[in-house]
Chain A
Amino acid sequence: QKEVEQNSGPLSVPEGAIASLNCTYSDRGSQSFFWYRQYSGKSPELIMSIYSNGDKEDGRFTAQLNKASQYVSLLIRDSQPSDSATYLCAVTSANQAGTALIFGKGTTLSVSS
């Protein structure tokens, strides 16, 4: 069973701090990695994607990928209360039928003002 693991949290950080969210995955063949943000009662919203080892920055968000360690992370700089949400890590994984997107259960982030 291919898996994506995340700490459920909650991860609590003060406003303005850096929030660090982590994710590990079991399928060494995974090639695409996504971070989705899900506000309570809402649908998942794509915020970052990363395909190569290293860092990818987009505004206050930085995704980091280390395929050798099967590890992907999301850093949120200058955290704001509006960043309070559940963050889902999603990883592509191939099976006989095709390539599916496997989701972790998410990490809940709480940013206090």
Chain B
Amino acid sequence: DAGVIQSPRHEVTEMGQEVTLRCKPISGHDYLFWYRQTMMRGLELLIYFNNNVPIDDSGMPEDRFSAKMPNASFSTLKIQPSEPRDSAVYFCASSLAMGVHQPQHFGDGTRLSIL
């Protein structure tokens, strides 16, 4: 089975530009998660969806960040306008269900550099 698929793998852009990250979860998984990983802060949960509905976006750092899940097989994380401090690796993960005993499976990540 295909795992979680993210694109692009790398993104380099100038500050002020719009950045869109994409994710395809594992088929049949009801939950989708967006994380950001930096050396300083580790792996941080930004937002997660259940059956395409955003459940908890308390980790989204600012209004510049937005996420959508228009259907069960696709989600986007958008940053507009981007800033250098947004540089990080962004991971998407999915799980069959939520909570106890349900591990999350991660995509390969998008390494984002804002110049």
A17 at the binding interface (Cβ < 8 Å):
no
Please determine whether B42 and A106 come into contact, CB atoms closer than 8 angstroms. Answer: yes
Please determine whether A97 and B42 come into contact, CB atoms closer than 8 angstroms. Answer: no
Please determine whether A46 and B105 come into contact, CB atoms closer than 8 angstroms. Answer: yes
Residues in A69-113 with C-beta less than 8 Å from chain B:
88, 92, 94-95, 97-106
Q: A95-B56, A106-B42 are in contact. Are A100 and B48 (CB under 8 A)?
A: yes
Please determine whether A101 and B104 come into contact, CB atoms closer than 8 angstroms. Answer: yes
Give the chain A neighbours of B99 by CB distance below 8 A.
Answer: 31-32, 92, 94, 98-99
Give B residues with C-beta under 8 Å from A.
Answer: 33, 41-43, 45, 48, 50, 55-56, 58, 91, 98-109
Give A residues with C-beta under 8 Å from B.
Answer: 31-32, 34, 42-46, 49, 51, 88, 92, 94-95, 97-106
